[in-house]
């Protein structure tokens, strides 16, 4: 009995010692950190599963609401079709009149039993049903191609509410939570494998100091604590998201929510129901492969749109790319995201970005604003010292096209480059130019290559082929194999298919549905007597630039017709408090406007790149109405001037891309007002011929750059150079004016200041 009692006491003592030892073991810093992390991960996974379930339910609710919206749209269109529409689909007027006599004037009101109507037999009833089926298919094809709710109908409001509900759920889990849980789980498994020999029993038979040292060596307590905090914070954020209230359901609140989150709502709807528009004409098989590509840039102060994320994946997947998105869709941001992804995946980055001089400051700001990358800006003087710093620190170096051939190309010959980016890549269309040769030399040493331009074609298709060939030789050769003259020997659909492995282009109207409307107005004026005298003098002098300037300025002694119309427009927009950009090709036109308007805001080729951004900042910060004068070849490229919602073009340009670039300075992401574009044009002058050729060129460019089928276009519009055009138009205008004034041009002797 005593022995049993003693044995029991010993057992109790041993158990007490074990419990105490176990308690001390659990309090070891590394072991406690391991347990904390494991508990946080378990909680994170459980909350993530709840988030996935809730997300799935909200996705189904959105699908139902979207289907209802489409069905309501179909009913509205069907009911709005007049009964006379049947006559254009093969139904006789007599049958249509039978319906009208019965009081039916809309197709949606036709009942299903046609035999109830006198004069409609079985054969005629079958014919009516066939034609109605055809009309139904036509209506389906004409349904809203963009998922843009209008809020007037209950079904549209339900789509907005369901979309907002989905946006409010599980974004953290889908974007970061799953990745964090997977990474932390992998770390935890690795730590358990490294510490399995350091068990509790090993702790009992080891000196505590030696054991703790061995455990600390096998683990990183600081890293474990950081992972625990990250997992805990993520779990708390997920739990909070699951508790968030749903979208309000009263009309005023829905309208307010829609305006506040319009970009997010339309981006989600586009990604879910109109994904093909994100693909830019790519084949479905290529698009699906690109969608499956991993893409995880580390950005700040921005969330990529779905089409921008697809663009980044396209760059990662294809490696050598020409990005031709329309102006204003964020090509710069996509390039920065691509660079950030490369650094995340490689651990380091050395990238060269070549830009026009006017864009260096803009690129530096964008890189610093949206990423954690270091931008090194190399200007034309003193760049070698900065290059050494870039070589030591890495990330991105920003150089101008001019700098590339002034020693920079040779200076980076021995450096391994991960990335080469050329912005406004149409600067490289001339293979004989020094900047083209130097840029190509740098690009050919880079692993990843990206050329960016919203205007891959300015005059001829050959220009775009050169860019594609530069970035991806194999694709360029495939195009060349179709014939020596690609402008004449290839259709648009064939060209699009051939270049698709290297070329991606999306249109603003397809992927940026929330952008405000752009209204373009042609302001035609007639020359007054003084203007006509100045214009005739320029024609007699055979001066093409003089003709264009005279149309705008007259003789500068009295306001020309264009200047008078400009004054009227500026008065109107001053009363409205709207900011205006006035573009002209000519410096002396801008100087005359500056004297006339007394504005301090102006940009020309004489203004250095950083100073241009300062002018824009001052113009944007000025309250209310303001006028910015800008040379179209200097300020019409790459700059962001969303503060202005009115664009005035003082004269038509020879290239449609020049005008499009200028307009896109204002009509781009971030613009919140309707953008007004006024083109000042003078009747019976060189403006008319420029306008005609501008339209002909624009037609051809859009057909090739945007996938449309090729149709016949004027050879003059696609191959004529501006110098040749100048000779032709001077002679045409001389002969026209000579015939107009029967007594000869001398009868209208000009007086030129």
Residues 597-644: pLDDT tens digits? 888 888 887 787 678 888 888 888 888 888 999 888 776 565 677 778
State the burial class of residue 33 (Cβ atoms within 10 Å of its Cβ: 0-12, 13-18, 19+): buried
In a domain, 699, yes or no: no
The pLDDT value given to residue 372: 92
Question: What pLDDT sits at residue 606?
Answer: 78
Phi-psi region of 282 (alpha: psi -120 to 50; beta: other; left: phi over 0): beta
Does residue 633 contact residue 659 with C-beta atoms inside 8 Å?
no
* Averaged pLDDT, 316-333: 87
Instruction: Indicate if the pLDDT at residue 170 is higher than 50.
Output: yes
The answer to whether residue 416 scores a pLDDT higher than 60 is yes
Determine contact, residues 697/660, Cβ cutoff 8 Å. no
Do 71 and 92 belong together in one domain?
Answer: yes
Number of domains in the chain: 3
Cβ neighbors of 83 (< 8 A, separation 6 or more) are: 96, 99, 100, 104, 105, 106, 107, 110
Question: Of 488, 511, 534, which residue is a domain's last?
Answer: 511
Considering the domain architecture, whether residues 670 and 541 belong to the same structural domain is answered as yes
Contacts of residues 556-561 at CB distance under 8 Å and 24 or more positions apart, as own/partner, are 556/592, 556/753, 557/530, 557/753, 558/530, 560/527, 560/528, 560/530, 560/531, 561/525, 561/526, 561/527, 561/528, 561/531, 561/682
Instruction: Let me know how many helices (H) and strands (E) the chain has, helices first.
Output: 35, 13
263 and 302 in a common domain: no
If asked whether residues 134 and 181 sit together in one domain, one would say yes
Residue 607 lies in a domain: yes
| pLDDT value at residue 19 | 53
User: What's the mean per-residue pLDDT of the chain?
Assistant: 76
Same domain, residue pair 157 and 206: yes
Same domain, 445 and 338: yes
CATH number of the structural domain spanning residue 421: 3.40.50.10810
Contacts of 221 (CB under 8 A, 6+ apart): 29, 30, 33
Using the 3D structure, point to which of 224, 241, 273 is the last residue of a domain.
273
Is residue 250 one of the residues assigned to a domain?
yes
Based on the fold, state whether residues 652 and 663 are members of the same structural domain: yes
Same domain, 234 and 287: no
pLDDT at 745: 55
What values do phi and psi take at 646, rounded to 5?
A: -130, 130
**Which of 511, 529, 564 marks a domain boundary?**
511
Query: Per-residue confidence at 510, pLDDT binned at 50, 70, 90?
Result: confident
**Confidence band for 371, pLDDT divided at 50, 70 and 90:** very high
Residue 199: is its pLDDT beyond 70? Answer: no
- The angle, 0 to 180 degrees and rounded to 10, between the axes of the packed helices 262-273 and 251-260 is 80
CA–CA separation, 204 and 200 (whole Å): 6
In a domain, 691, yes or no: no
User: Are 171 and 248 contained in the same domain?
Assistant: yes
212 and 310, same domain (yes or no): no
The pTM score is 0.62
Range of the domain at 367: 276-511
Q: Lowest-confidence range among 335-339, 483-487, 515-519?
A: 483-487
Which range is most confident: 41-55, 193-207, 215-229, 441-455?
441-455
Query: Is 163 within a domain?
Result: yes
Residue 611: alpha-carbon gap to chain centroid: 26
Are 645 and 579 spatial neighbours (Cβ–Cβ below 8 Å)? yes
- Are 476 and 330 members of one domain? yes
Has residue 340 got a pLDDT over 90? Answer: yes
Looking at the structure, tell me whether residues 464 and 318 fall in a common domain: yes
Say if 711 falls within a structural domain.
no
Q: Which residues is 649 bridged to in the sheet?
A: 583, 679
Q: What is the CATH number of the domain that holds 606?
A: 3.40.50.300
pLDDT in tens, 214-270: 555 555 554 555 666 666 766 676 677 666 657 777 778 888 887 777 777 877 887
Asked whether residue 689 is domain-assigned, the answer is no
> Which residue, 363, 356, 403, is CA-closest to 379?
403
Pull the structure tokens for residue 348: 């380091």
pLDDT band at residue 203 using 50, 70 and 90 as cut-offs: very low
Residue 8 in any domain: the answer is no
* Crossing angle between the packed helical segments 208-218 and 29-79, to the nearest 10 degrees: 30
């Amino acid at each position: 009995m005593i022995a049993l009692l003693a044995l029991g006491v010993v057992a109790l003592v041993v158990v007490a010692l074990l419990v105490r030892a176990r308690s001390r073991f659990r309090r070891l810093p590394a072991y406690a950190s391991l347990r904390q992390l494991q508990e946080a991960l378990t909680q994170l996974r459980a909350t993530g599963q709840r988030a996935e379930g809730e997300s799935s339910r909200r996705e189904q609710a959105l699908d139902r609401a979207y289907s209802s919206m489409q069905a309501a749209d179909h009913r509205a269109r069907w009911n709005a079709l007049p009964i006379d529409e049947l006559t254009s689909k093969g139904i006789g007027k007599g049958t249509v009149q039978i319906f009208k006599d019965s009081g039916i004037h809309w197709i949606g009101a036709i009942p299903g039993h046609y035999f109830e109507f006198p004069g409609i037999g079985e054969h005629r009833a079958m014919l009516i049903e066939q034609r109605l089926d055809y009309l139904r298919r036509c209506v389906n094809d004409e349904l809203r191609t963009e998922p843009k709710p209008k809020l007037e109908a209950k079904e549209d409001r339900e789509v907005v509410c369901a979309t907002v509900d989905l946006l409010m759920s599980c974004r953290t889990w889908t974007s970061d939570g799953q990745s964090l849980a997977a990474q932390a789980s992998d770390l935890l498994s690795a730590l358990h494998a490294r510490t399995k020999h350091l068990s509790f029993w090993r702790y009992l038979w080891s000196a505590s100091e030696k054991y703790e040292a061995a455990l600390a060596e096998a683990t990183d307590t600081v890293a474990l604590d950081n992972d625990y905090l990250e997992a805990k914070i993520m779990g708390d954020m997920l739990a909070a998201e699951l508790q968030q209230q749903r979208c309000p359901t009263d009309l005023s609140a829905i309208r307010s929510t829609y305006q506040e989150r319009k970009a997010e709502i339309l981006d989600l709807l586009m990604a879910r129901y109109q994904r093909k528009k994100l693909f830019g004409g790519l084949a479905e098989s290529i698009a699906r492969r690109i969608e499956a590509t991993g893409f995880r840039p580390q950005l700040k102060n921005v969330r990529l749109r779905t089409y921008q994320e697809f663009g980044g994946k396209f760059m990662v997947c294809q490696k050598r790319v020409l990005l031709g998105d329309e102006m204003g869709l964020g090509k710069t941001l996509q390039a920065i995201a691509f660079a950030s992804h490369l650094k995340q995946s490689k651990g380091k980055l050395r990238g060269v970005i070549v830009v026009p001089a006017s864009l260096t400051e803009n690129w530096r700001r964008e890189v610093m604003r949206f990423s954690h990358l270091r931008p090194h800006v190399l200007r034309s003087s003193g760049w070698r010292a900065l290059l050494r710093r870039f070589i030591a620190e890495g990330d991105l170096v920003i150089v101008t096209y001019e700098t590339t051939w002034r020693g920079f190309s040779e200076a980076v010959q021995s450096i391994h480059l991960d990335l080469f980016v050329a912005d406004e890549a149409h600067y490289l269309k001339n293979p004989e130019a020094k900047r083209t040769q130097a840029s190509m030399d740098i690009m050919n040493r880079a692993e990843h290559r990206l050329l960016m331009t919203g205007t891959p074609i300015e005059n001829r298709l050959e220009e775009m082929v050169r860019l594609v060939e530069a970035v991806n030789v194999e694709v360029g050769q495939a195009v060349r194999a179709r014939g020596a003259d690609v402008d004449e020997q290839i259709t648009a659909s064939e060209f699009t298919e051939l270049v698709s492995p290297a070329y991606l282009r999306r249109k603003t109207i397809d992927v940026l549905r929330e952008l405000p409307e752009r209204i373009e107005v042609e302001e035609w004026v007639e020359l007054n007597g003084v203007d006509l005298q100045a214009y005739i003098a320029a024609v007699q002098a055979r001066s093409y630039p003089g003709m264009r300037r005279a149309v705008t300025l007259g003789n500068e002694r009295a306001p020309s017709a264009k200047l008078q119309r400009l004054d009227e427009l500026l008065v109107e927009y001053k009363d409205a408090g709207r900011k205006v950009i006035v573009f002209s090709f000519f410096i002396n036109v801008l100087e005359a406007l500056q004297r006339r308007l007394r504005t301090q805001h102006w940009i020309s080729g004489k203004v250095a790149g950083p100073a241009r951004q300062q002018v824009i900042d001052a113009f944007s910060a000025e309250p209310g109405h303001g006028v910015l004068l800008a040379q179209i070849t200097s300020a019409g490229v790459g700059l962001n001037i969303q503060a202005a919602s009115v664009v005035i073009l003082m004269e038509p340009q020879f290239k449609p891309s020049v005008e499009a670039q200028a307009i896109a300075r204002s009509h781009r992401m971030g613009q919140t007002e309707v953008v007004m574009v006024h083109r000042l044009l003078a009747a019976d002058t060189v403006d008319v011929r420029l306008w005609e050729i501008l339209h002909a060129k624009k037609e051809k460019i859009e057909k090739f750059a945007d996938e449309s089928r090729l149709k016949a276009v004027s050879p003059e519009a696609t191959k004529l150079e501006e110098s040749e055009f100048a000779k032709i138009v001077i002679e045409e205008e001389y002969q026209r004016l000579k015939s107009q004034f029967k007594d000869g041009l001398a009868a209208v002797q000009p007086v030129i200041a």
